[in-house]
């Protein structure tokens, strides 16, 4: 069920777009939905990030993954346990661009004894890296459709991406990589028992969706051979707020763009928001300097005081005096008779 | 159930059907109820404890009552769901961490096999990701659109009594060790989620006695053991007598002395319980050796903060004593002993909650002149930093061969390691005071260190079986160095560790002793005017003196 529902949902989306676009609703799928989706995406994304930002970070709670800044002769791990802003930036760059934490991953086994064994496990890191980077490359490549003239970096990237020059038109490596990476991530999710057990429909849905987006995109490029000029006209139109649908764009295009629209809408309401969250996680983006610099908690209650020393001493004064522990207030003089005795 | 034999427990860890051994439960996790049986839960807080805390923090500990986790009636207040949901809302607004951690998990599973509770029990809900999902599912249902619209498909579910039971069970099977957060690509810290869940549970009067009673003691008597001032002093005197018979040196530490230069705050267990007392003897010898002008305090006689296992407010109240006492006594700065969660609170929360400590001076070692810039604001220095600096400057006369009967490894206590980054100081000290030091395997030390399995108020006898399972990864690594290097001593810098690791190695790695780093320092110190040492601080004969 956990896999079936999202699969059916993606199929459903495809059917909707196919039917809708072929019964004359091209403008709805080609113009209205994309705009709406983008609006929801941007609005939802900002809303979420602002929502996070509204909550304060009362305490400095970085997870320290290396030696802290301490005595001058002890070598600090500047990147995994930063105490300065440049260090934090370094840590975040490693995290965001190289998935530093995932790189640490290990896998544990238990066997008779009982004994535990931990091996390094870099699959998740590798698949995730492949997936995200090929996604990024494809995204940037799409700029050529929206921008006129085409930015130089898009051309460079495209050249590099098509470097292998397999077939005609050239097959981009990123297309192959993303398909492979999604497949591997999916396989990982169903083959590793732990991961399968924790997975929700909400985890399979984006995988299927992105897979379908990639496949329809490739079909358009390599198989059905859509008219790029027409698509570019629409895309530039969309980007300049003067959209026109010029000529037949083909069913595959409408499916593709509808799936993309769905992804955009789904994004801010789902775990995909990890894109924003990774920048804001307080265990990673804070310097570990809380003993060095005072940090303010906006809701700290200055009236919350400890059980006072005075009442402590009141309770134990006699014992303290007996034991020769200094007190602030002497014992009340007992009856003079007793004292003289 | 409570006290299994090593063989039996070992077999069940490695062979019993569990997610760890490859057996997948046939039901989805939200359909598997939490079942309480003797041995798998900590006893509920006594009503008088709840009442005690409620007096100073009304509403934070719920209604006091006698209740039984095994029963189906926890005598919850009628509007308990409302209390929990409102409490969750309040915390989402107060902690960005919680909001982000509720939204960003991609369920990649990188954290799954990092938790010692999962490794030892194989229970799926002990995977950090699922532990967090126990709360996340409620969050989605109440606070997210996707959850409201898609319900189960988006992983949302309603708050029910069954969920509350799960919370009580699994948020007390998390020692807030933060190991999972090291491996998570977004730094999701399940410990943070556990802390919030425990705050919420306390709101409806669901707390455990082994936390609330020590916390009450800390509040009233100054320390979690409930030691009254004269008892503390007397016991320290016994330790000094022992020191005298071992070394011939008479030490008379001062208590509550105004005008001392430095206030010492250490875990109270170090004054009273084995093997902590030997660590304390180590501190005493060290201070005597360097002629430090220091005082202990009976009022602030606890480093450990049991409040941090309940809620923010109690954590703050207990912690506030340290500064209050430093101010009253007029000391220059504070030196903190070997204690784990004391240091987490100190390092991450103290200055923010109870600072600024502007009545104190910048900590400066009176012997070496080193200024502890890393403690510029909090004005509290860790004993291990202090000792490392002394050794580095050649201020200590050390004879490491006095520890030759010890083959030592080091356990990075979770809090100093993953919440402070205190990793190299203890190693530096150890390498100078012992001749035989061996690291445990790479994935089990430093920031990857494994928890003792019984932190955050779980070191109580009623869950022995669980504790031994949870401590297995740690014990396994000790076994490894024992087999390889004949290690017989497990050193650490945490009082809870000293208590819990002792039980742990007695069970899994018998013949291993647990000690604080300072015990080994004290043993190695060559004191002025001492007599020939024939035994260590435990009266154990030194090498060559066995006869
Ligand atoms: S590692 Fe982080 S993102 Fe991955 S499942 Fe665990 S908590 Fe979620
Ligand atoms: S904080 Fe420690 S005990 Fe808690 S879930 Fe993470 S690894 Fe497990």
3-class DSSP string for B246-271: HHCCCCCCCECCCCCCEEEECCCHHH
Q: What is the mean pLDDT of residues B205-231?
A: 93
Whether B119 lines ligand 2, by a CB cut-off of 6 Å, is no
Phi-psi region of B291 (alpha: psi -120 to 50; beta: other; left: phi over 0): left
Q: What is the mean pLDDT of residues B289-311?
A: 95
Tell me the residue length of chain B: 547
pLDDT on residue A43: 97
Whether B102 lines ligand 1, by a CB cut-off of 6 Å, is no
Longest dimension (CA), chain A: 116
What are residue B518's DSSP bridge partners? none
- Backbone phi, psi, residue B355, to 5°: -85, -170
Interface of A with B in 7-66 (CB under 8 A): 48, 51-61, 63-66
Testing ligand 2's pocket by substitution, the residue of B20, B191, B195 carrying the most ligand atoms inside 8 A of its CB is B191
What are residue B234's DSSP bridge partners? none
Pick the residue from chain A with its C-alpha nearest to B108: A195
pLDDT on residue A159: 85
CA–CA separation, B110 and B103 (whole Å): 17
Cβ–Cβ contacts within 10 Å for residue A19, how many? 12
DSSP state of A69: S
Ligand 1 midpoint to CA B183 (Å): 8
Task: Say whether pLDDT at B369 is over 80.
Answer: yes
Helices (H) and strands (E) in chain A, counts: 16, 2
pLDDT on residue B188: 96
CA–CA separation, A173 and A138 (whole Å): 10
Q: Which residues of A touch B112 (CB under 8 A)?
A: 194-195, 198
Nearest to B228 among A54, A295, A316 (CB): A316
Contact call for B255 and A325, based on CB within 8 A: yes
Q: Which residues of B touch A316 (CB under 8 A)?
A: 228-230, 298
Q: pLDDT exceeding 90 applies to what percent of chain B?
A: 93
Residues 6+ apart with CB under 8 A from B255: A325, A326, B229, B232, B233, B236, B295, B296, B297, B298
Does residue B343 contact residue B308 with C-beta atoms inside 8 Å? no
Whether B191 lines ligand 1, by a CB cut-off of 6 Å, is no
Phi-psi region of A113 (alpha: psi -120 to 50; beta: other; left: phi over 0): left
CA–CA separation, A117 and B442 (whole Å): 11
Q: Which of A96, A95, A112 is CA-nearest to residue A104? A: A95
What residue ranges of chain A have pLDDT lower than 50? 339-341
Does residue B212 contact residue B201 with C-beta atoms inside 8 Å? no
pLDDT on residue A167: 65
CA–CA separation, B388 and A262 (whole Å): 59
Cβ–Cβ contacts within 10 Å for residue A168, how many? 7
DSSP state of B398: B
CA–CA separation, B409 and B489 (whole Å): 6
Does residue A34 contact residue A238 with C-beta atoms inside 8 Å? yes
Task: Say whether pLDDT at B185 is over 70.
Answer: yes
CA–CA separation, B308 and B215 (whole Å): 9
Q: Which residues of B touch A318 (CB under 8 A)?
A: none
The vertex-B268 CA angle with B267 and B274, nearest 5°, equals 95
* CA B444 distance to own-chain centroid: 17
Mean of pLDDT over chain B:
95
* CA B49 distance to own-chain centroid: 21
Chain A interface, mutation test: which of B10, B17, B108, most A Cβ atoms within 10 Å?
B108
Question: And the tokens for A289?
Answer: 């300097």
Could you report the predicted ipTM of this complex, rounded to two decimals?
A: 0.92
Whether B174 lines ligand 2, by a CB cut-off of 6 Å, is yes
Nearest to A292 among B150, B377, B476 (CB): B377
Does residue B355 contact residue B316 with C-beta atoms inside 8 Å? no
CA–CA separation, B294 and B344 (whole Å): 23
CA–CA separation, B328 and A307 (whole Å): 14
CA–CA separation, B188 and B168 (whole Å): 21
Task: Say whether pLDDT at B151 is over 50.
Answer: yes
pLDDT on residue A285: 95
Over the range B448-463, which residues count as b (16 or more CB within 10 Å of their CB) and which as e?
bbbbbbbbbbbbeebb
CA–CA separation, A211 and A231 (whole Å): 21
Q: 């800044």: which residue's tokens?
A: A69
Alpha helices in B291-423 (DSSP H): 312-329, 340-345, 351-354, 383-392, 414-415
Does residue B270 contact residue B495 with C-beta atoms inside 8 Å? yes
Sequential DSSP letters for A256-323: HHHHHHHHHHHGGGSGGGHHHHHHH-TTTSS-S-TTTS----TT--TT--PSPHHHHHHHHHHHHHHT
């Amino acid at each position: 069920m956990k896999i079936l529902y999202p699969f059916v949902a993606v199929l459903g989306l495809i059917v909707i777009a196919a039917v809708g676009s072929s019964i004359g609703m091209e403008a709805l799928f080609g113009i209205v939905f994309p705009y709406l989706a983008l609006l929801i995406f941007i609005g939802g994304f900002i809303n979420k990030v602002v929502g996070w930002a509204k909550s304060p970070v009362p305490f400095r709670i970085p997870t320290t993954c290396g030696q802290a800044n301490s005595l001058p002769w002890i070598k600090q791990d500047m990147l995994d346990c930063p105490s300065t802003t440049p260090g934090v930036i370094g840590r975040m760059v490693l995290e965001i661009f190289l998935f530093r934490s995932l790189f640490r991953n290990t896998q544990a086994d238990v066997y008779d004894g009982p004994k535990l064994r931990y091996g390094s496990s870099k699959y998740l890191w590798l698949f995730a890296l492949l997936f995200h980077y090929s996604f990024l490359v494809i995204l940037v490549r799409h700029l050529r459709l929206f921008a006129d003239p085409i930015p130089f970096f898009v051309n460079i990237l495209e050249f590099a991406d098509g470097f292998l020059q397999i077939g005609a038109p050239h097959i981009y490596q990123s297309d192959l990589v993303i398909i492979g990476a999604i497949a591997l991530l999916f396989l990982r999710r169903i083959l590793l028992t732990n991961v399968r057990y924790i997975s929700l429909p909400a985890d399979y849905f984006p995988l299927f969706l992105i897979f379908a987006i990639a496949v329809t995109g490739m079909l358009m490029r390599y198989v059905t051979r859509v008219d790029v000029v027409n698509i570019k006209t629409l895309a530039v139109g969309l980007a300049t707020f003067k959209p026109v649908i010029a000529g037949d764009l083909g069913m595959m295009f409408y499916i593709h763009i509808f799936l993309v629209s769905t992804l955009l809408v789904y994004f801010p309401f789902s775990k995909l928001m990890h894109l924003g969250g990774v920048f804001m996680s307080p265990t990673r983006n804070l310097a570990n300097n809380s003993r060095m610099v005072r940090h303010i908690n906006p809701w700290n209650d200055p009236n919350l005081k400890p059980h006072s020393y005075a009442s402590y001493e009141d309770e134990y004064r006699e014992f303290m005096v007996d034991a020769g522990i200094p007190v602030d207030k002497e014992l009340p003089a007992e009856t003079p008779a007793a004292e003289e005795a | 159930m409570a006290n299994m034999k090593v063989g039996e427990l070992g077999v069940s860890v490695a062979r019993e059907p569990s997610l760890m051994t490859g057996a997948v439960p046939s039901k989805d996790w939200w359909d598997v109820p939490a079942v309480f049986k003797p041995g798998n839960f900590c006893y509920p807080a006594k009503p008088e404890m709840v009442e005690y805390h409620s007096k100073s923090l009304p509403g934070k500990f719920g209604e006091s009552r006698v209740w039984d986790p095994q029963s189906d009636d926890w005598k919850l207040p009628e509007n308990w769901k409302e209390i929990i949901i409102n409490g969750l809302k309040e915390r989402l607004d107060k902690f960005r961490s919680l909001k982000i951690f509720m939204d960003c998990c991609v369920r990649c599973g990188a954290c799954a096999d990092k938790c010692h509770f999962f490794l030892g029990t194989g229970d799926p809900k002990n995977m950090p990701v699922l532990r967090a999902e126990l709360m996340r599912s409620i969050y989605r249902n109440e606070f997210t659109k996707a959850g409201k619209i898609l319900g189960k498909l988006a992983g949302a579910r309603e708050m029910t009594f069954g969920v509350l039971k799960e919370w009580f069970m699994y948020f007390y099977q998390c020692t807030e060790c933060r190991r999972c957060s090291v491996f998570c690509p977004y730094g999701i810290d399940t410990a943070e989620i556990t802390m919030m869940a425990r705050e919420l549970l306390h709101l409806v009067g669901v707390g455990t006695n082994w936390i609330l009673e020590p916390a009450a003691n800390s509040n009233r008597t100054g320390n979690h053991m409930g030691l009254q001032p004269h008892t503390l002093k007397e016991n320290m005197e016994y330790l000094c007598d022992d020191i005298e018979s071992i070394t011939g040196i008479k030490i008379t530490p001062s208590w509550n002395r105004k005008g001392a230069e430095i206030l010492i705050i250490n875990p109270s267990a170090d004054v009273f319980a084995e093997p902590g007392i030997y660590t304390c003897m180590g501190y005493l010898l060290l201070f005597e050796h360097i002629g430090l002008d220091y005082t202990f305090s009976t009022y602030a006689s606890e480093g450990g903060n049991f409040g941090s296992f309940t809620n923010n407010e109690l954590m703050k109240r207990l912690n506030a004593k340290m500064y209050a006492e430093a101010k009253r006594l007029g000391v220059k700065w504070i030196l903190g002993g070997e204690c784990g969660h004391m240091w987490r609170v100190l390092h991450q929360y103290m200055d923010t909650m109870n600072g600024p400590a502007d009545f104190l001076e910048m900590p400066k070692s009176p012997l070496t002149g080193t200024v502890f810039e890393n403690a510029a604001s909090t004005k509290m220095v860790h004993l291990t930093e202090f000792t490392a600096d002394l050794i580095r400057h050649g201020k200590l006369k050390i004879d490491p061969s006095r520890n030759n009967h010890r083959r030592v490894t080091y356990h990075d206590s979770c809090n100093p390691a993953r919440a402070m980054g205190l990793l190299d100081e203890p190693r530096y000290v150890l390498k100078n005071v012992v001749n035989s030091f061996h690291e445990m395997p790479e994935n089990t030390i430093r920031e990857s260190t494994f928890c003792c399995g019984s932190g955050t108020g779980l070191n109580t006898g009623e869950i022995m079986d669980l504790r031994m399972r949870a401590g297995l990864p740690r014990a396994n690594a000790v076994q490894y160095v024992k087999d390889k290097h004949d290690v017989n001593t497990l050193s650490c810098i945490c009082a809870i560790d000293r208590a819990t690791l002792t039980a742990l190695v007695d069970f899994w790695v018998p013949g291993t002793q647990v000690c604080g780093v300072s015990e080994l320092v004290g043993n190695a110190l060559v004191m002025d005017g001492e007599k020939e040492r024939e035994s260590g601080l435990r009266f154990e004969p030194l090498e060559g003196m066995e006869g």
